[in-house]
Amino acid sequence: LWQFYGMADIKNGRPSAATMPEVTGNSTVAPERRIVIAHNPDRILELPEESALLFLAGHFHGGQIWAPFRLEYKVLRDEKLASMGYTRGLFTLRGIKAYISRGIGCVLIPLRFMSRPELTIIDIWEHYEMLENKA
């Protein structure tokens, strides 16, 4: 049994991780079988440590218009995760594997400059087989 949980966008404000009994510990599904999906990657900062196997997000577009010295993230954005250096790709934070997709779209300006679009395919079956072999 796997559990997928979608978090509302930060702009909408709710629900936060504090209102998610499935992720905060009142679930019969083990954290190794939980996947949390959110638009804004900063939502991972609301999750308790090791409360999910995987966190998936987008929003940053991988730096839609690449600027040297990470200027896009320093000047145009105020997200906490970007200021911590997490803007795209796979990483682990607070015991949760996370992936920020660069996506294929654009925001405001219909242009991507030195930031290739990305269509991400996540294969959880491989991880599922690994879990089953441990049991």
Structure confidence by residue, pLDDT tens digits, 118-130: 888 888 776 666 5
Q: 23 burial class (0-12, 13-18, 19+ CB within 10 angstroms)?
A: buried
Q: pTM, whole model, 2 decimals?
A: 0.78
pLDDT of residue 97: 93
Residue 3: which pLDDT band, with cuts at 50, 70 and 90? confident
The per-residue pLDDT for 20 is: 60
Cα dihedral sign for 68, 115, 39, 109? Answer: positive
Structure tokens at 51: 């409360």
Q: In this structure, what are the phi and psi dihedrals at residue 6, rounded to the nearest 5 degrees?
A: -100, 130
* pLDDT tens digits, one per residue of 28-85: 788 888 899 998 899 999 898 998 999 999 876 666 667 666 666 666 667 788 888 8
- When mean pLDDT is compared across 16-20, 73-77, 78-82, 96-100, the lowest value belongs to 16-20
Rounded CA-CA distance 118/60 in Å is: 12
What does each C-alpha distance from 99 to 21, 26, 54, 59 come to in angstroms? 23, 25, 8, 12
The confidence score (pLDDT) of residue 98 equals 94
